[in-house]
Amino acid sequence: MLDLAIVGGGPAGASAAVYARRFEMKTALLFREPGGLISTAHLVENWPGIPSISGFELGEKLLKHARGVGAEEIFAEVSAIEKEAGGTFLLRAAGGKEIRARAVLLASGTFPRKLGVPGEAELLGKGVSYCATCDGPFFKGKRVAVIGGSDSCCNEAEFLADLAEKVFLIYRREELRAEPANRARVEKNPKIEMILSATPRAILGKEKVEGFRFERAGKEEDLKVDGVFVAIGREPMTGLLDGVEVEFSERGEVLVDEKKMTKTPGLFAAGDVVPGIKQAIIAAASGVEAVFGAREWLRKSN
């Protein structure tokens, strides 16, 4: 029986684990992807005290810290969280694994939002990807399209520009919505060509990606590419909450009180899965806030 089960291995979960162990709580991190979403970032340049670091390295450092203070790591994809009759929580994971805890912190993060155009689902893994750092090496010397206009999208385009022959950054608006520094780097990169005011229509190809179709100024255009990287935002990962009572925002985020507790007593949430600015440093802070809330709740429930 754990005092606190933390679902997620990103900045929110790892930071929470460090504080939970400082409070001498029996704690475990349950995750499928070490480091969470931040580990897929090409570069992180806004983490205080570290001017520049790869996302993978930052994710590793966060988990190493949690591991060093005694947090257990359980490599498992949690599929359901249930509240038991006695008040404890049962977490069900792949392979029939079951974990029990007195309190739970959901720091599961998000999953990629889909374009919803023809060819996307059919060509997934055949040139369609949602992670440049994961799949970029397969496109060395090739032509790729990156769809989106955010900071993460710009980072994806920059990473791919180091590998691919040509990168097309396609966005539906007239101007990228990324931070000025990220936007400037993309604009100066000779291997990146921006195609703005372009609405995605289809991903082309039969056995693999062969092109990308978009509409601009009322006309459809086909672009020859070998890969399509979709970076149009992410959705909160909340499907595992069907067995507990929680409330959601209009965006599907988990609603919590000032102590990061959900409508179900003992169930807390933090990071990108709750409303707020989606930044790693803020996720880390909210994870710590949740642990303070969990500590107080556990003391009162004894």
DSSP class per residue in 203-254: EE-SSS--EEEEEETTEEEEEE-SEEEE-S-EEE--GGGTTS---B-TTSPB
Determine contact, residues 229/160, Cβ cutoff 8 Å. yes
The pLDDT value given to residue 152: 87
Would you give per-residue pLDDT tens digits along the chain (302 residues)? 999 999 999 999 999 999 999 999 999 999 988 888 888 887 788 899 999 998 899 999 999 999 999 999 999 899 999 999 989 999 999 888 999 999 999 999 998 899 999 999 999 999 999 988 888 999 999 999 999 999 989 999 999 999 999 999 999 999 999 999 999 999 999 999 999 999 999 999 999 999 999 999 999 999 999 999 999 988 999 999 998 999 999 999 999 999 999 999 999 999 999 999 989 999 999 999 999 999 999 999 87
Structural domain that includes position 296: 2-112+234-301
Sign of the CA dihedral with 268 first, then 274, 275, and 281 last: positive
Determine contact, residues 112/126, Cβ cutoff 8 Å. no
Catalytic residues, by residue number, are 131, 134-135
CA distances from 21 to 25, 32, 33, 54, 72 (A): 5, 21, 21, 26, 10
The DSSP symbol for 259 reads T
Would residue 120 count as lying in a domain? no
Cα distance between the two ends of the chain: 14
Structure tokens at 92: 């069900």
148 and 88 within one domain: no
184 and 262 within one domain: no
102 and 23 within one domain: yes
The pLDDT value given to residue 191: 97
Would residue 121 count as lying in a domain? no
Last residue of a domain, one of 230, 248, 274: 230
CATH code, 44: 3.50.50.60
The DSSP symbol for 116 reads -
Distance (Å, rounded) from C-alpha 294 to C-alpha 267? 8
Would residue 119 count as lying in a domain? no
97 and 8 within one domain: yes
Distance (Å, rounded) from C-alpha 257 to C-alpha 252? 16
101 and 59 within one domain: yes
100 and 59 within one domain: yes
135 and 210 within one domain: yes
pTM: 0.81
Would residue 255 count as lying in a domain? yes
Domains in the chain, number: 2
278 and 247 within one domain: yes
